[in-house]
Amino acid sequence: MQKTAKRRVGKQKKTVGKNGRSPDNKTTQMIELLKRPDGATLQELTSASGWQSHSVRGFLSAALGKRMGLKVNSKKGDDGQRVYRIA
């Protein structure tokens, strides 16, 4: 009896995330919101991403600011809400 060799297949990179979207979809969506002339409030960013507010602020600092080298400005609006904008 002859054994057949099993072919070992390595893990392949996922090109689609868990929800069927591309992995960088939230990043792209967040950048588009921040590029608007009037920017985006924290509430708008949390609604768009589904993340909690502290996660959005961390994303703005780490992913956009440090990794991507984008400068994110923030300013408190007339209504007391902070508005974030890519400079």
- Sorted by where each begins, the domain ranges of the chain are 25-86
| Fold designation for 25-86 | Arc Repressor Mutant, subunit A (1.10.10)
Beta-strand relationship, 82-86 and 40-41: antiparallel
Q: What is the DSSP string of 31-75?
A: HHHHHSTT-EEHHHHHHHH---HHHHHHHIIIIIIIIS---EEEE
Q: What is the pLDDT of residue 47?
A: 94
pLDDT by 10s per residue, the chain, length 87: 666 666 666 555 545 555 555 556 889 999 999 999 999 999 999 999 999 999 999 999 999 989 999 999 999 988 999 999 998
What pTM did the predictor assign? 0.68
